[in-house]
A = this chain, B = another copy of it.
């Protein structure tokens, strides 16, 4: 019976700037060769110091105007931080959906509230989630001698469907997509329109274990057999090919 296990890494302490996530994971879990470690973006961002104190931000007129149009009327300084992280605004009525510098299209450019050391701060997405994933993969090899894949995940909303699902922002040591075009199905028919977003499926599966409030910010996915390497950028649809951007 083909079997995949999803194992939550339990007991990790709160992560702060400068913390070594590789060391924290290695201290709380035993990794095997071929495992994929999925890590929540929030602890990666915190470890990398991707934090902004909103009281240090001056909101522009644009940010004030947009904030007034959004549900729950957020702090315009939070909106300003989102705009600073964005290259394009897709929607700014009720919810703020932008394209980030990385090319991700998501709510609030991935900026979120966090309580760090008793202070309310904003977390930003990692500057380069693929680089973050590769550093963590290298660090885990150094500490444990084990070759694993790494996915940095975050929860994104989607058009057409309700609710958020986990997706892959950064990928190291495994394929992000598997392109089946040109191969045949079980009946010998050529497969078309069949690029599998496996790193997103991996991130989603980890979301089942991360739980409701991300109390378990790292999950080991064991037993996968996808081959190849890739990056989180492989999962971004080029704007020119995107019918809904």
Chain A residues at the B interface, C-beta cutoff of 8 Å: 1-10, 29, 72, 91, 93-95, 97, 104-105, 107, 113-115, 120, 155, 157-167, 177-178, 180, 183, 185-189, 191-198, 200-202, 204-205, 207-209, 211-216, 221, 223-224, 234-237, 242-245
Whether the pair A163, B195 counts as a contact (CB closer than 8 A) is yes
Whether the pair A161, B3 counts as a contact (CB closer than 8 A) is no
Whether the pair A178, B235 counts as a contact (CB closer than 8 A) is no
**Cβ contacts under 8 Å, A216 to chain B:** 2
Contact of A204 among B8, B164, B177, B205 (CB under 8 A): B205
Whether the pair B95, A160 counts as a contact (CB closer than 8 A) is no
Q: How many copies does the complex hold?
A: 2
Tell whether A195 pairs with B159 under 8 Å between CB atoms, given A4-B6, A204-B205, A205-B201: no
A244 CB to nearest chain B CB (Å)? 4
Tell whether A162 pairs with B177 under 8 Å between CB atoms, given A6-B3, A208-B205: yes
Tell whether A197 pairs with B2 under 8 Å between CB atoms, given A115-B187, A208-B205: no
**Cβ contacts under 8 Å, A94 to chain B:** 243
Whether the pair B189, A115 counts as a contact (CB closer than 8 A) is yes
Whether the pair B159, A235 counts as a contact (CB closer than 8 A) is no
Whether the pair A212, B10 counts as a contact (CB closer than 8 A) is no
Whether the pair B161, A235 counts as a contact (CB closer than 8 A) is yes
Whether the pair A201, B207 counts as a contact (CB closer than 8 A) is yes
Q: Which 4 A-B pairs have the closest CB atoms?
A: A163-B197, A204-B204, A205-B205, A159-B244
Whether the pair B197, A208 counts as a contact (CB closer than 8 A) is no
**Cβ contacts under 8 Å, A242 to chain B:** 159-160
Contact of A162 among B91, B164, B187, B236 (CB under 8 A): B236
**Cβ contacts under 8 Å, A204 to chain B:** 165, 200-201, 204-205
